[in-house]
């Protein structure tokens, strides 16, 4: 907690204690007044009782004096009785005054006055009568008079009333006294608590103040140590340019720079005026700061033949009334800092270049990934050409090139796709003509004087700097990528090699993406062929037929075109196998398959249906044309010689059954069944025949 908070708390406690004291005094005064008033009323009641008793006693004394006088006839007794009768009136008046505040008692006093007067009159009459007869009767009459009884009754009533009042007033005094004691107890307790709190807070504040002052002294000592220990030059001057504060660094620097010592109280203006004109700008800085401005300035000086840069901060100094009393200046050697800053700027520049290159590489990688995913989606090699032509100029900047594809024969490579019009225009190259293909790795060509040139560059007059990269996948060369560098004409071979090194990873990734896609497409084609082709005859297999027949029937129906199903069976094929062996049977089956395939249109389909049975699908052809073409095919087979190991197998023929879509339903099994039944008729009727299934009525 801050000191001013403790001070506020202490002041608050003092004010609260003062208010409590005033309250205590007021309550004490009020309770004392109430207690005094209660005591006064109790005393007043006692006075009334005393007055009544005194009046009663006085009445008894008068009665006794009259009695004595009547018995003794002593004149002194009469005088005493009359004197006391005179006192009765004063005592009644006093009693009347005492009970004036009590209507009941005042009325009783008013009743007593005539009774006393009548009784006194009676006493006087008895005494003045001088009649000694029947004295005892007179005395008895005197004591038993109605006046005496009434007076006694009234006084007893008044005494009873006053005693009741006295008891009430005693209770009031007791309660007032009890309340006063409670008030005083609470007040004393509160005073003690607040006094304790005040002492605690005061001691805390005092401790804080001591600690604060100690910290201030410690801080001042540390600040002085920091000022003296820092390497920065620190000094302060007043408005008359006199030094009022300086540290050792300032003193030592001044001594080493100007060759003379400086002390507190010296006029710094005189020192500056003695400097060369180039250094007198310091005086302008001081004048500016003495006008109340806060600013920084960089001051350049030559120290020991080395140029130094100092950053000087000028801050005006103000007193409590905000009056300018001087200037503090802090000078720091920033020579190394500026050098470091220059180095940092250079590093940032290089970093920005590196980041830009990284962004470009990321862009290349993104394009390369997109190229790879696009190539993986291609179904044929021809589909790959468009993505390669599109992405190659974006990924391989400032280049032109060609991608060659290995022919299935592996004897040569065909030009697949090119970009940016390369100088090399060879459509076909031989693997032996390229060093990259022969060595199985990247080959760099700069010029004919310093590099080994590939033979496929012989047709180029001035071949540009280029590289050849074999497209390899799974240890198989599937192609070649040839890249020409367009913008390296004015570069040295070393610079060109650096460019190649920079491009190396990108080029290899580009080549790998193309090679992998080429390999996948070829593998997919091979697997697809194996899945739909019969391995012996090269015809489509039964699976392909089942997959295609429904589709082809639907297509023919939609186009309102005819379609024919032809079942083919080799006559006496089992006999051939039994007589010449299965190898001869396979040879016959292959040769007949080749005859059929070579004489079908490209749109027609030939499938090995099973064993020696072959099924043909002929599209967009009428019935007469089907019969004619199948007969030609039958005759061609029957005229063919079949040799096995130089031995003629004899005449081999085939039987045919035809069913046309226009005459039968669109259900595949119906067409095949009808064609099979027609084939059966050809076999039954002597073989080597063509039978057309007849439409059923």
Got the DSSP string for 533-546?
Answer: B-TTT-SB-HHHHH
Q: Which residues of the chain have pLDDT under 50?
A: 1, 3, 133-135, 137-138, 697
Query: How would DSSP label each residue in 287-300?
Result: HHHTTT--EEEEEE
Ordered alpha helix ranges (H), 378-419: 381-395
- Cα distance between residue 638 and residue 251, in whole Å: 126
Q: According to the model, what pLDDT value does residue 1 have?
A: 46
Residue identified by tokens 């220990």 is 229
pLDDT tens digit string along 447-500? 878 888 899 888 888 888 899 999 998 888 899 999 998 877 677 888 888 888
Report the DSSP beta bridge partners of residue 315: 328
Check: CB of residue 562 under 8 Å from CB of residue 623.
yes
Phi first, then psi, for residue 619 (nearest 5°) are -115, 150
Count how many Cα atoms sit within 13 Å of the Cα of residue 634 in the half-sphere of its side chain.
23
Q: According to the model, what pLDDT value does residue 692 have?
A: 94
Check: CB of residue 106 under 8 Å from CB of residue 98.
no
Report the DSSP beta bridge partners of residue 656: 568, 690
CA nearest to 441, candidates 468, 404, 466 = 468
- Cα distance between residue 66 and residue 79, in whole Å: 10
Please tell me whether the overall predicted TM-score, pTM, comes out greater than 0.85 for this model: no
- Cα distance between residue 580 and residue 558, in whole Å: 48
Domains of the chain: 230-340 (3.30.450.20), 378-530 (3.30.450.40), 534-692 (3.30.70.270)
% residues pLDDT > 70 (the chain): 82
pLDDT tens digit string along 5-64? 656 766 776 787 678 767 766 776 676 666 666 667 767 777 777 777 777 777 776 667
pLDDT tens digit string along 77-107? 666 766 667 677 777 777 777 777 778 777 7
């Amino acid at each position: 907690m801050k000191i001013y908070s403790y001070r506020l708390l202490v002041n608050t406690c003092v004010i609260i204690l003062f208010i409590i004291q005033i309250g205590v005094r007021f309550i004490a005064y009020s309770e004392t007044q109430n207690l005094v008033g209660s005591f006064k009323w109790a005393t007043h009641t006692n006075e009334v009782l005393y007055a009544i008793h005194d009046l009663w006693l006085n009445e008894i004394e008068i009665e006794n004096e009259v009695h004595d006088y009547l018995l003794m006839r002593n004149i002194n007794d009469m005088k005493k009785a009359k004197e006391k009768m005179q006192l009765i009136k004063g005592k009644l008046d006093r009693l009347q005054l005492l009970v004036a505040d009590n209507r009941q008692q005042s009325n009783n006093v008013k009743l007593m006055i005539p009774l006393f007067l009548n009784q006194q009159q009676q006493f006087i009459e008895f005494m003045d009568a001088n009649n000694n007869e029947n004295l005892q009767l007179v005395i008895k009459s005197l004591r038993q008079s109605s006046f005496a009884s009434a007076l006694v009754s009234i006084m007893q009533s008044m005494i009873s009333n006053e005693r009741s009042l006295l008891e009430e007033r005693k209770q009031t005094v007791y309660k007032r006294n009890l309340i006063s004691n409670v008030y005083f107890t609470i007040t004393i307790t509160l005073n003690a608590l607040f006094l304790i709190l005040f002492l605690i807070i005061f001691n805390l504040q005092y401790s804080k103040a001591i600690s604060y002052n100690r910290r201030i002294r410690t801080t001042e000592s540390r600040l002085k140590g920091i000022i003296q220990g820092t390497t920065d030059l620190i000094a302060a001057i007043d408005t008359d340019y006199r030094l009022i504060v300086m540290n050792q660094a300032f003193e030592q620097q001044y001594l080493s720079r100007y060759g003379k010592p400086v002390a507190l109280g010296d006029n710094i203006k005189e020192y500056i005026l003695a400097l060369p004109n180039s250094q007198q700008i310091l005086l302008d800085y001081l004048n500016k700061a003495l006008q109340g401005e806060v600013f920084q300035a960089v001051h350049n000086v030559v120290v020991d033949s080395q140029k130094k840069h100092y950053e000087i901060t000028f801050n005006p100094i103000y007193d409590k009334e905000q009056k300018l009393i001087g200037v503090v200046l802090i000078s720091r050697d920033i020579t190394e800092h500026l050098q470091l800053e220059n180095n940092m700027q250079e590093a940032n520049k290089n970093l920005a270049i590196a980041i830009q290159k990284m962004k470009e590489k990321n862009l290349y990688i993104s394009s390369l990934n997109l190229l790879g995913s696009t190539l993986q989606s291609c179904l044929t090699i021809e589909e790959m050409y468009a993505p390669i032509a599109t992405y190659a100029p974006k990924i391989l900047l400032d280049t032109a090139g060609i991608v060659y594809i290995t022919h299935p024969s592996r004897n040569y490579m065909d030009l697949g796709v090119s970009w940016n019009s390369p100088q090399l225009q060879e459509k076909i190259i031989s693997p032996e003509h390229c060093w990259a293909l022969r060595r199985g790795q990247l080959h760099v060509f700069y010029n004919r004087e310093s590099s080994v040139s590939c033979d496929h560059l012989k047709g180029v007059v001035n071949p540009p700097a280029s590289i050849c990269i074999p497209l390899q996948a799974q240890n198989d060369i599937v192609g070649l990528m040839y890249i020409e560098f367009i913008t390296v004409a004015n570069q040295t071979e070393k610079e060109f090699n650096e460019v190649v090194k920079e491009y190396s990873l990108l080029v290899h990734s580009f080549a790998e993406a193309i090679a992998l896609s080429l390999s996948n497409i070829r593998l997919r084609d091979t697997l697809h062929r194996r899945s739909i082709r019969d391995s012996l005859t090269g015809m489509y297999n039964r699976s392909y037929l089942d997959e295609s027949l429904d589709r082809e029937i639907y297509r023919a129906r939609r186009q309102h075109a005819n379609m024919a199903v032809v079942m083919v069976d080799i006559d006496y094929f089992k006999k051939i196998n039994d007589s010449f062996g299965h190898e001869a049977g396979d040879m016959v089956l292959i040769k007949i398959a080749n005859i059929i395939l070579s004489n079908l249109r490209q749109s027609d389909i030939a499938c090995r249906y099973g064993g020696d049975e072959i099924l043909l699908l002929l599209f967009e052809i009428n019935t007469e044309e089907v019969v004619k073409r199948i007969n030609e095919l039958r005759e061609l087979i029957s005229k063919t010689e079949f040799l096995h190991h130089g031995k003629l197998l004899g005449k081999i023929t085939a039987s045919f059954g035809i069913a046309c879509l226009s005459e039968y339903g669109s259900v595949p099994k119906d067409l095949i069944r009808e064609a099979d039944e027609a084939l059966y008729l050809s076999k039954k009727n002597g073989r080597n025949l063509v039978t057309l299934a007849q439409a059923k009525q």
